[in-house]
């Protein structure tokens, strides 16, 4: 039996224990949030998700308030809108005006709310946090002056990744997210924290200046590293991969590991083979495809003619696609005429 | 995985990864899941958060141990003894599922007899795991309503790897843990498309879809589709190929995307074999150690540069889509194969890769219902026989492909090379999180190479202290087959008397050391256990920091 309530005059129903925010989301009713993430435990930190509930003296955070029978919720009132606007203003008062060069511009929740609330400069000029500490890890860029302390990175690292590499240290104005003793980050570098960060505080180092949203085409594909087969979105600009992301509604739930998220640089490595090579007198010399193909075909044909098809064999790869493996064994069986075909999957 | 094919009739993961989060008991053996299958590990952690019990059986303190309720630290190569004594406890305490055993299995009596001698005391003596923990593991596993087992190379890369798999199969069969959601036995596949490469029959004894080359009906079907006469004789596997090359019987070898010089168990032998060939063609994205030996090297496209599909560890066929163009004159592997085929007088004409997949579907019922149009909405798990079939998350619901599942009587055989006075350490090899396989891709990712630049050997602090080896000192590791020099990493991940080397580094290739003995059935090499000695390399005093 579900619990019945109304949100913005609409009758809705949800399971006992659900929060107002979860219920609203299920019914497609939008409530702005900065610290909530459906994959993580409710946090109640940003106070952007405030709603008015009939009978309650003050607005309440919808992400932490459980629903009750007959509850009447209003998500948009002049009072909560004013409070939300103040929340954003306060965050901006301690945020560098760096959207011009920020990696996340166009894909940043703080920027988006500032836009919707029409906030350019604000009433709360004051002291700004200064972070001088540079983190030397090779994967993650951590710009802590852009951190809004939503705690998502800390929670994802703990709750989802089971690592607990970072925490919110110090209190009040000095509060910041950092590894213990403010050391350099030394963790699994999965980048889960980067993927949940609502601002430009966390980004990938190799993403720097590769492109943001303009001119980016996203291509959904499958990771080529391990057997998990995570679904990746390659963000492509021109002929180059700018970054990698993953959507929460796929079987890997949007999570990736360090290889899938940051391990694509080999694609543009200068070591890539770019032309067929034929060894002559012990040295490789460049060849055209026509030369290479007819040379290989001639040599294969000669071996088959002289020694029979079973003097030939093929080894294929667990890294190639199904179609390539299918064609490879078809080539060995139907064209060469041997069942001498295997792959190295034993390893 | 031949072991599972024998007992169930199919060697795939019985469940899908998302089901893991509903396990109430998770038994991980011989799998460093957090580093090798990171996303599966996340589902395991999710299950633990929901209250599941996590049992780890691993000689090394792998990262997942931190989250485990019970850690069984068995000695390397003693898995069968461990599982047999768990089975012994289950039988003795009547923790077995008699109804399931009766209805869906055969061979229980002989299997039960084989574990009779494996009391927890015997188990403790062989494995080093305290008998209380063996008993506790049996009770926890048997009490699970949704218990599943996960394993990888730590189980299979042994001279008795098939026995290891048989004993795990005994365990799930005794508990009746098969044929339902979230219960089962799950071999996690290492590389991205191991499942697909097996399905597509890059294997000497079968056509795609595990249809035997010796089966007349199967052969006739393929002959009709391919319009050519096919051989009925089983071909050579990868290991036999190397021996045949050395013997001069194999003249030509065509390698697509593999690097056996680095990944095979005995590097010297592989090098010699490949050099003995008359003609070697290697098709790859980089000049690998294997490609160096080739007569012709053909430049291929990488995953981001082509269309196709991969089949992941839980049988999910998923699209690979072209995002960028390959560099220079590099070409799709499929294009190269088709060109070669034309040049040798056989027409292969496909407008695109979806047509190739459709041909697979015509020849193999289990993917007949999968096509590129359907995959636009996401991957589909085979078996999927018709286009209105949703795919199959878990296997063996009503029956096994061979009818009744087979128990096996499994004897314990120690690893073939155990430590002795001359070679007092056990060496185990494996992967680490940052690098991948033989390192051809990951070592060309700057950030990864910065963070995991060098080869290393993990040594327990007690051994390091005894031999005065400091963290970061250079050591020589030697086995009966060769020696390599690399940095010591002093850590309590391996136990006393055990060292571990990741196999990604060509300058300190672990397969110079490993023992090229193979499981007699699966032909998987014993990469997990061999005996080595360590020597500290005396530093030049002037350079000592
Ligand atoms: S990269 Fe992963 S492990 Fe490291 S801090 Fe972020 S979430 Fe934690
Ligand atoms: S770094 Fe990002 S995710 Fe972490 S607390 Fe700051 S804003 Fe939130
Ligand atoms: S992202 Fe990591 S876990 Fe996922 S498939 Fe790739 S390598 Fe495996
Ligand atoms: S979303 Fe509710 S307080 Fe942040």
Question: Is B299 part of any domain?
Answer: no
Q: Which of B129, B164, B188 is the last residue of a domain?
A: B188
- Can you say whether residue A258 is alpha, beta or left, with left for phi > 0 and alpha for psi between -120 and 50 degrees? alpha
Position A204 scores a pLDDT of 92
Tokens 């070898």 correspond to B253
Between 3.40.190.10, 3.10.20.740, 1.10.3720.10, 3.40.50.2000, what CATH number should domain A2-76 receive?
Answer: 3.10.20.740
C-alpha to C-alpha distance for B437 and B431, rounded to whole angstroms: 7
Do residue B89 and residue B201 come from a single domain? no
Nearest residue, CB atoms, A228 vs list B197, B312, B524: B312
User: Does residue B509 register a pLDDT over 90?
Assistant: no
Confidence (pLDDT) at B385? 93
Do B522 and B493 share a structural domain?
A: yes
Residues B159 and B202 in one domain: no
- Say whether both B380 and B525 belong to one domain: no
Q: A75 to chain B, minimum CA–CA distance in Å? A: 32
Cross-chain residue pair A296–B296, CB shorter than 8 Å: yes
Q: What is the band of B86 on the pLDDT scale with cuts at 50, 70, 90? A: very high
Contact partners, residue A308, CB within 8 Å, separation at least 6: none
Domain assignment present for residue B340? The answer is no
User: Chain B contact for A16, CB < 8 A?
Assistant: no
Strand (E) positions, A175-260? 176-179, 202-204, 217-222, 231-237, 240-245
Assess whether pLDDT exceeds 50 at residue B162.
yes
Q: What is the mean pLDDT of residues A288-301?
A: 95
Say what the pLDDT of residue A254 is: 94
**Count of CB contacts below 8 A, A vs B?**
442
User: Do the domain assignments include residue B178?
Assistant: yes
Residues in chain A within 8 Å Cβ distance of B236? 313, 340, 342
CA distance, residue B322 to nearest chain A CA (Å): 8
Q: Is the pLDDT reported for residue A119 higher than 90?
A: no
Residue B129 and residue B109 share a domain: yes
The rounded percent of chain A whose pLDDT value lies above 70 is 95
Give A150-161 pLDDT, tens digit per residue: 999 999 999 999
Rounded Cα–Cα distance for residues B131 and B137 (Å): 10
Whole-number pLDDT of residue B523: 65
Note whether A164 contacts B: Cβ–Cβ < 8 A: no
Indicate the DSSP class of residue B538. P
Nearest CA to ligand 1 atom 6: A193
Instruction: State residue B508's pLDDT score.
Output: 66
What share of chain B has pLDDT > 90, as a percent?
45
Query: Per-residue confidence at A219, pLDDT binned at 50, 70, 90?
Result: very high
Domain with CATH 2.20.25.90 in chain A: 215-272
- Average pLDDT for A301-330: 94
Higher pLDDT, B105 or B442: B105
Q: How far is the CA of A97 from the centre of ligand 4 (A)?
A: 24
pLDDT tens readout for residues B295-306 = 999 999 999 999
User: Tokens in use for B287?
Assistant: 């000049």
Read off the pLDDT of each residue in A56-77 and give the average, rounded to a whole number.
94
DSSP state of A242: E
B133 CA: distance to closest CA in chain A (Å) = 25
Q: What are the start and end residues of each CATH 3.10.20.740 domain in chain A?
A: 2-76
Residue B88 forms part of a structural domain: yes
pLDDT, residue B447, reads 77
pLDDT of residue B156: 73
Which atom of ligand 2 is least distant from the CA of A151?
A: 5
- For residue B94, the SS3 value is coil
Structure tokens, A30: 């939008």
**Is residue B435 domain-shared with residue B455, that is, in the same domain?**
yes
Is the Cβ of A41 closer than 8 Å to some Cβ of chain B?
Answer: no
Chain B: give the shortest CA distance to residue A125, in Å.
Answer: 39
**Overall size of chain A counted in residues:** 347
* Cα of A278 vs its chain's centroid, Å: 42
What is the sign, positive or negative, of the torsion defined by CA atoms of B304, B307, B308, B309? positive
User: Which domain, by its residues, includes B382?
Assistant: 191-232+309-322+349-386
pLDDT, position A28? 94
pLDDT tens digits for range B257-295 = 988 887 776 788 889 999 999 999 999 999 999 999 999
Q: Which pTM was predicted?
A: 0.89
* Ligand in nearest proximity to the CA of A63: 4
Atom of ligand 4 nearest to the CA of A62: 2
pLDDT band at A347 (very low <50, low <70, confident <90, very high): very low
pLDDT of residue B538: 74
Q: Name which of A89-93, A154-158, B437-441 the model is least confident about.
A: B437-441
CB contact under 8 A, B198 and A190: no
In this structure, the answer to whether residues B81 and B93 fall within a common structural domain is: yes
Same domain, B514 and B445: yes
**Whether residue B180 is found in the same domain as residue B211:** no
CATH number where B37 lies = 3.40.228.10
Q: DSSP of B279-294, one letter per residue?
A: EEEEEESB--TTGGG-
Q: Can you tell me the mean pLDDT for A101-113?
A: 91
What pLDDT band is residue B545 in, cutting at 50, 70 and 90?
A: very low
How far apart CA A79 and CA B464 sit, in angstroms, is 66
pLDDT at residue B171 greater than cutoff 60 = yes
Q: How many domains does chain B have?
A: 3
What average pLDDT does range B362-388 have in this prediction?
93
How many Å lie between the centroid of ligand 4 and the Cα of residue A53? Answer: 16
User: For residue B414, which phi and psi values (nearest 5 degrees)?
Assistant: -65, 160
- pLDDT for B351 equals 92
CB contact under 8 A, A303 and B252: yes
pLDDT at position A127: 66
Q: Quick check: CB of A199 below 6 Å from ligand 2?
A: yes
| DSSP bridge partners of B487 | B456, B474
Find chain A residues with C-beta within 8 A of B343's C-beta.
Answer: 293-294, 296-297
Give ipTM to 2 decimals. 0.89
* pLDDT tens track for A240-281: 999 999 999 999 999 999 999 998 988 999 999 999 999 999
For ligand 4, atom 3, name the residue with the nearest CA. Answer: A44
Which residue matches tokens 């952007």? A48
Over residues A181-210, the mean pLDDT reads 90
| Domain shared by B20 and B136, yes or no | yes
Mean pLDDT, rounded, of chain B? 87
Please check whether residue B281 lies inside any domain of the structure.
Answer: no
Residue that terminates a domain, selected from B157, B173, B188? B188
Assess whether B382 and B530 both reside in one domain.
no
Name the pLDDT band for A128 (thresholds 50, 70, 90): low
- What's the distance, Cα to Cα, between the start and end of chain B in Å? 50
The pLDDT assigned to B158 comes to 66
Strand partners, B425: B532
Highest mean pLDDT among A167-171, B358-362, B402-406: B358-362
Q: Is A293 on the interface with B (CB under 8 A)?
A: yes
Inside any domain, residue B31: yes
Interface residue A331 vs chain B (CB under 8 A): yes
What pLDDT score does B207 carry? 92
What mean pLDDT comes out for the span B173-182?
A: 87
Same domain, B50 and B92: yes
Residue with the two structure tokens 């997210």:
A177
Correct CATH for A215-272 of 3.40.630.10, 2.20.25.90, 3.20.20.210, 3.40.50.150: 2.20.25.90
In short, whether A260's Cβ falls inside 6 Å of ligand 3 is yes
What tens digit of pLDDT does each residue of B19-68 get? 999 999 999 998 889 888 999 999 999 999 999 999 999 988 889 999 99
pLDDT of residue B544: 41
Is B251 inside any structural domain? no
pLDDT in tens, A230-240: 999 999 999 99
Q: How confident is the model at residue B192 (pLDDT cuts 50, 70, 90)?
A: confident
Residue whose C-alpha is closest to residue B383's, from B6, B38, B10, B88: B10
The average pLDDT across B358-371 equals 94
For range A303-330, the mean pLDDT:
94
Q: Would B481 be classed as within a structural domain?
A: yes
Q: Is residue B2 very low, low, confident or very high in pLDDT (cuts 50, 70, 90)?
A: low
Residue A175 touches chain B, beta carbons under 8 Å = no
Q: Where are the alpha helices (DSSP H) in B287-410?
A: 333-343, 353-363, 372-375
Q: Dig out the tokens for B394 from the structure.
A: 């878990």
């Amino acid at each position: 039996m579900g619990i019945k309530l109304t949100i913005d005059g609409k009758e809705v129903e949800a399971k006992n224990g659900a929060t107002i925010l979860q219920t609203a989301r299920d019914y497609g009713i939008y409530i702005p949030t900065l610290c909530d993430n459906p994959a993580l435990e409710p946090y109640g930190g940003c106070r952007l998700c405030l709603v008015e509930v009939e009978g309650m003296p003050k607005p309440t955070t919808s992400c932490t308030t459980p629903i009750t029978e007959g509850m009447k919720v209003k998500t948009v009132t002049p009072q909560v809108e004013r409070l939300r606007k103040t929340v954003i203003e306060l965050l901006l008062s301690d945020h560098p005006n760096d959207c011009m060069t920020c990696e996340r511009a166009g894909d940043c929740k703080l920027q988006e709310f500032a836009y919707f609330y029409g906030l350019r400069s604000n009433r709360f000029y004051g002291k700004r946090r200064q972070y001088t500490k540079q983190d030397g890890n090779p994967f993650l860029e951590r710009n802590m002056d852009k951190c809004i302390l939503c705690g998502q990175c800390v929670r994802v690292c703990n709750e989802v990744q089971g690592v607990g590499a970072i925490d919110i240290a110090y209190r009040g104005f000095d509060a910041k997210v950092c590894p213990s003793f403010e050391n350099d980050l030394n963790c699994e570098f999965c980048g889960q924290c980067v993927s949940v960060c609502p601002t430009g505080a966390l980004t990938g180092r190799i993403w720097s200046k590769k492109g943001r949203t303009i001119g980016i085409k996203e291509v959904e594909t499958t990771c080529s590293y391990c057997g998990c087969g995570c679904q990746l979105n390659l963000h492509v600009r021109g002929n180059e991969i700018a970054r990698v992301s993953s959507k929460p509604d796929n079987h890997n739930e949007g999570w990736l590991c360090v290889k899938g998220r940051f391990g694509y640089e080999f694609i543009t490595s200068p070591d890539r083979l770019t032309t067929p090579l034929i060894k002559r007198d012990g040295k490789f010399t460049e060849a055209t495809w026509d030369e290479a193909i007819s040379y290989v075909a001639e040599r294969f044909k000669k071996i088959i003619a002289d020694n029979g098809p079973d003097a030939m064999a093929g080894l294929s790869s667990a890294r190639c696609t199904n179609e390539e493996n299918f064609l490879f064994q078809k080539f060995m069986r139907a064209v060469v005429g041997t069942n001498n075909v295997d792959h190295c999957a034993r390893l | 995985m031949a072991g599972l094919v024998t007992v169930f009739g199919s060697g795939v993961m019985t469940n899908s990864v998302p089901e893991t989060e509903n396990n109430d008991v998770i038994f991980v053996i011989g799998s460093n899941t957090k580093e090798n299958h990171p996303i599966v590990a996340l589902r395991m952690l999710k299950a633990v958060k929901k209250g599941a019990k996590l049992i780890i059986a691993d000689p090394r303190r792998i990262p997942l141990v931190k989250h485990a309720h019970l850690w069984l630290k068995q000695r390397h190569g003693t898995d069968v003894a461990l599982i047999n004594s768990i089975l012994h406890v289950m039988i003795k305490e009547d923790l077995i599922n008699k109804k399931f055993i009766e209805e869906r299995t055969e061979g229980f009596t002989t299997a039960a007899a084989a574990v009779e001698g494996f009391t927890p005391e015997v188990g403790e003596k062989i494995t080093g795991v305290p008998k209380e923990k063996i008993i506790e593991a049996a009770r926890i596993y048997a009490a699970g309503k949704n218990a599943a087992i996960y394993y990888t190379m730590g189980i299979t890369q042994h001279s008795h790897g098939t026995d290891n798999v048989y004993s795990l199969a005994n365990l799930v069969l005794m508990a009746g843990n098969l044929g339902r959601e979230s219960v089962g036995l799950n071999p996690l596949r290492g590389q991205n498309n191991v499942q697909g490469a097996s399905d597509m029959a890059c294997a000497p004894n079968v056509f795609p879809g595990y249809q035997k080359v010796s089966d007349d009906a199967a052969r006739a079907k393929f002959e009709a589709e391919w319009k050519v006469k096919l051989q009925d004789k089983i071909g050579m596997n990868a290991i036999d190929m190397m021996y045949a090359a050395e013997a001069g019987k194999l003249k030509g070898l065509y390698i697509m995307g593999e690097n056996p010089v680095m990944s095979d168990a005995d590097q010297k032998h592989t090098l010699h074999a490949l050099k003995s060939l008359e003609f070697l063609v290697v098709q790859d994205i980089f000049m690998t150690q294997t490609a160096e030996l080739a007569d012709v090297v053909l430049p291929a496209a990488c995953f981001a540069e082509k269309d196709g599909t991969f089949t992941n560890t839980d049988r999910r066929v998923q699209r690979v889509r072209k995002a960028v163009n390959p560099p220079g004159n590099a070409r799709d592997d499929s294009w190269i194969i088709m060109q070669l085929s034309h040049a040798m007088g056989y027409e292969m004409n496909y407008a695109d890769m979806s047509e190739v997949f459709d041909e697979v579907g015509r020849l193999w019922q289990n993917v007949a219902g999968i096509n590129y149009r359907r995959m636009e909405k996401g991957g589909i798990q085979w078996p999927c026989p018709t286009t209105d079939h949703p795919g199959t998350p878990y296997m063996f619901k009503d029956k096994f492909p061979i009818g009744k599942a087979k128990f096996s009587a499994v004897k314990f055989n120690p690893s073939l090379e155990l430590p002795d006075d001359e070679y007092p350490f056990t060496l185990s090899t494996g992967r680490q999180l940052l690098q991948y396989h033989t390192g051809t891709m990951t070592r060309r990712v700057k950030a990864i190479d910065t963070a995991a630049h060098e080869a290393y050997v993990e040594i327990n602090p007690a051994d390091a202290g005894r031999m005065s080896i400091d963290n970061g000192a250079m050591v020589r590791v030697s086995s009966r087959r060769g020696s390599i020099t690399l940095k010591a990493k002093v850590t309590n991940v391996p136990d006393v008397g055990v060292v571990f080397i990741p196999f990604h580094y060509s300058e300190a290739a672990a397969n110079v050391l490993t023992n090229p003995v193979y499981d007699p059935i699966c032909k998987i090499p014993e990469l997990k256990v061999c005996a080595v000695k360590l020597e500290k390399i005396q530093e030049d005093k002037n350079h000592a920091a």
